[in-house]
Structure 1
Amino acid sequence: MSYTSDVFKQSYDQQGSVVVPSLLDDALDDLRVASERVVDRTRAGLWPHRRTVGRQFPPYGDDHPDSWGVQHVMHPDLGESSFGNWYTSDALVGAIQTLLGCTEDELQMELFNMLINPTAHEFALRWHRDDVRESASEDEERSSLALWHHGIQWNTALYEDSCLFVVPGSHRLPRTPQQRELSSSMEPPDDPMNMPGAYQVTLRVGETVFYNSNILHCAVYQSSKKRVTLHACMGSTRGGSARARNILQHDLGWMTEPRFRDGLSDRGKAMLDRLIAMKQNAGEVGYSLDN
């Protein structure tokens, strides 16, 4: 089945997530090798941009020796061109165009990170939506959820991955009272499947789950199980500056440097220009790439 199939878009629109196979083409081996180098560098304390155990949201800090994620894998200081090449590949861009229902000249570059297993600690993320506060009222939820269809997030598994849990359809609806109770705490769940409607996403090697990041979701990390999953997002310019707060909080100043731009394809440069345009527009209301 083609990655541009309307079947995938229908599932994504209705459920808030969809699993798509075979978007890596021949890139799997290169991405695995590049990822291992980056993970080793991060665990050795040689890459400061990491997500640390005990912190779910930025700023992640460096006060814990164990990591559950690597930030900014396209950063020129890492020197790993495989990530940028894949982020702008025909297969991935084609799938995103279909799922967002937009054209290529509307796509804006955003974040590209990696999710990995901690080596010495168990860790879990609480139930949350990425850009809706846990304390939001029902009316605030409805308003926020209506805005968040101009971007897409995804996990691509370089090794089998069963860490993510989602509540299908929750990207369109405010929480029920029981869902609200289970997602208002700062603590991770004892058992993610206690959340009404919860579904565990299992990805085979090379599969990608695309999801609306305002779907209710959480994750469980096991130190004993290898996880190397590409974790990224892309936006559509149709959303204006709606995504600025969530995207620009991640210290993206390096993306304005000529050495980063020079390493991108023409497609990548055009996508970067749209991110910078969003930054400039968002600056009028208090956001910047350096937040």
Structure 2
Amino acid sequence: MSPIKDTYDSQGFVVVPGLVSLQDFSKLQEASDLVINRTREGSWPYRRTVGKQFPPFDNDNPDSWGVQHVMHPDLQGSAIVFSNWYTSDDLTRACADLLHCGEEDLQLELFNLLINPLEHSFALRWHRDDVKENALPEEEQAALDKWHTGIQWNTALYEDSCLYVVPGSHQIARTPEQRVHSCTIDPPSDPLDMPGAVLLTLKPGETVFYNSNILHCAAYDHTVKRATLHACTADARYGTARGRNILQHGLSWVNDERFKDQLTPRGKRMLGRLLELQKSIPTNEISYSLEG
């Protein structure tokens, strides 16, 4: 087992430098600037709006804290830059290592961009991505025990000090004290009030891989530039385990032939596994993981 796999399994996250080449780094920065500008100008509708923490997102606020679906073919050249990196050798190798699977098992999922709002600082509450805040301890533990089929990551294009996590919390249900800080839909006034919490600071080019059911939250300072690649992939051998958490974001566009055409051969194979997941879960059975 690799050192990063050991750390990931015990802590629920691991920071890995050097997955983005210098050439790719400049391309990703340029592509990010283009899609961020489109989003802020109102010509890209898929965004995370200030005041809304989780999907479905709305248009009630003109300020944004995220750009959704950055591999969407309507983003043209930028989408190709993002999809090429999502399916790159070093990144997919790290994902397969941490998921303890082969490249032939990797399933394409989400790729979004986390950005700083322009007018309003914003925070997410303490949460696990696919466990509701009012889950009973035994329900929470049951969910954690089976949430090992996918991996999420943030890659910073600028220094990023937004993400807070509780190391090791991907394995055990919250303590009574931790539940006090995570049982409402309100973001914390100070994330470090959560017992066991630490702040993760990423340098440009660093990637944090994390189990998305680790206890985590985030705080966005509107005065600090942020462009952080935010994505996930899965081990397709586990079938529909991640269906709700992924399909709730609205992925009908991945059926567009233009999207398939822009992908590398590896990306096409990863997409095929996502399309099989879509077919196995009727649209009317898709629900939202969290509220707020």
**Which deviations, in whole Å up to 9, do the C-alpha atoms of 1:60-98 show, x marking residues without a partner?**
111101000000000000111110000000010000011
Residue pair 1:75, 1:254 contacting (<8 A) in 2 also: yes
Distance 1:239 1:56 in 2: 28
Cα distance, 1:226–1:60 mapped onto 2, change above 3 Å: same
TM-fit CA distance, 1:278? 1.1
Identify which of 9, 13, 16 aligns with 1:17: 13
Residue pair 1:160, 1:227 contacting (<8 A) in 2 also: yes
Distance 2:286 2:178 in 1: 31
Cα distance, 1:60–1:284 mapped onto 2, change above 3 Å: closer
Identify which of 56, 60, 68 aligns with 2:65: 68
- Aligned to 2:201, what secondary structure does the other structure show? coil
When the two structures are aligned, how many residues end up with a matched partner?
284
Distance 1:285 1:140 in 2: 24
Superposed, which structure 2 residues align to 1:1-291 within 5 Å?
6-25=2-21, 26-79=23-76, 80=78, 81-283=80-282, 286-287=285-286
- Aligned to 1:201, what secondary structure does the other structure show? strand
Q: CA RMSD in A?
A: 1.2
Q: Percent identity?
A: 59
Distance 2:240 2:30 in 1: 36
Amino acid across the alignment from 2:10: Q
Amino acid across the alignment from 1:205: P
Distance 2:188 2:146 in 1: 28
Distance 1:116 1:284 in 2: 29
Distance 1:287 1:251 in 2: 10
Amino acid across the alignment from 2:38: R
Amino acid across the alignment from 1:18: V
Distance 2:11 2:268 in 1: 32
Distance 2:281 2:149 in 1: 16
TM, length-normalised to structure 2: 0.95
Q: Which runs of 5+ in 1 are unaligned?
A: none
TM-fit CA distance, 1:285? 8.6
**Which deviations, in whole Å up to 9, do the C-alpha atoms of 1:160-203 show, x marking residues without a partner?**
00100000000000000010110011110010001000010000
Distance 2:221 2:103 in 1: 37
Residue pair 1:279, 1:287 contacting (<8 A) in 2 also: no
Distance 1:67 1:51 in 2: 6
Distance 2:43 2:61 in 1: 14
TM-fit CA distance, 1:237? 1.1
TM-fit CA distance, 1:241? 0.2
Amino acid across the alignment from 2:242: R
Amino acid across the alignment from 1:201: L
Q: 193-202 or 5-14: which moved more? A: 5-14
Amino acid across the alignment from 2:73: P
TM-fit CA distance, 1:284? 9.2
Q: Which runs of 5+ in 2 are unaligned?
A: 288-292
Distance 1:184 1:284 in 2: 29
* Structure 1 stretches of 4+ moved >4 Å: none
